[in-house]
A and B are shown apart, each in its own frame.
Chain A
Amino acid sequence: MKEFNLDQEEIRGLNQHLHDMPSTDPNGSVTVTNPAGKHALAVGIDTPAEVTIEGHVGYYCAGMNQQATVHINGNAGPGLAENMMSGKVIVSGNASQYCGATAHGGLLVIRGDASSRCGISMKGVDIVVGGNVGHMSAFMAQTGRLVVCGDAGAALGDSIYEARLYVRGSVANLGADCIEKEMGEEHLQEVTELLEAAGMTDCKASDFRRYGSARQLYHFNIDNAY
Chain B
Amino acid sequence: MCGIVGLYTKNDRLRPELGTLLSSMLIQMSDRGPDSAGVALYRNPAAEGNGKVTVQSPDLDEESMQSLQQSLDAVFGSVSLTRRANHVVIEVPGNAMEAARMIEETHTDLRVTSSGQVIEIFKEKGLPKDVVNQYRLDGVDGTHALGHTRMATESAVTTEHSHPFSTGLDLCLVHNGSLSNHNHLRRMLMSEGIRFQTDNDSEVAAGYLTWRLSQGDDLEDALNAALRDLDGFYTFAIGTKDGFAVLRDPIACKPAVLAETDDWVAMASEYRAIAQLPGAENARIWEPEPATIYTWGG
Q: Could you list which residues of chain A lie within 8 angstroms of chain B, going by C-beta atoms?
A: 36-39, 55-56, 58-59, 75, 77-78, 93-94, 96-97, 115-116, 134-135
**Among B253, B272, B286, contact of A36 (Cβ-Cβ < 8 Å):** B272
- The listed residue with most B CB atoms (<10 A of its CB), out of A37, A56, A93, A116, is A37
Chain A residue nearest in CB terms to B255: A78
**Among A36, A37, A75, A116, contact of B290 (Cβ-Cβ < 8 Å):** A116
Total contacts A-B at CB 8 Å: 42
A205 to chain B, nearest CB (A): 29
**Among A94, A97, A135, contact of B255 (Cβ-Cβ < 8 Å):** A97
Docked complex: B251-298 residues within 8 A CB-CB of A: 252-253, 255, 257, 270-275, 281, 285-287, 290
A96 contacts B275, CB within 8 Å? no
Interface size of B by Cβ–Cβ distance < 8 Å?
15
A36 contacts B275, CB within 8 Å? yes
B272 contacts A58, CB within 8 Å? yes
B288 to chain A, nearest CB (A): 10
A170 to chain B, nearest CB (A): 15
- Enumerate the 6 nearest inter-chain pairs by beta-carbon distance, A residue then B residue, closest first: A37-B272, A37-B271, A36-B275, A37-B275, A56-B271, A115-B287
A97 contacts B272, CB within 8 Å? no
A55 contacts B272, CB within 8 Å? no
B270 contacts A37, CB within 8 Å? yes
A56 contacts B275, CB within 8 Å? yes
The answer for the CA separation of A77 and B255 in the assembled complex, in Å, is 9
B290 contacts A58, CB within 8 Å? no
- The listed residue with most A CB atoms (<10 A of its CB), out of B257, B271, B273, is B271
B285 contacts A77, CB within 8 Å? no
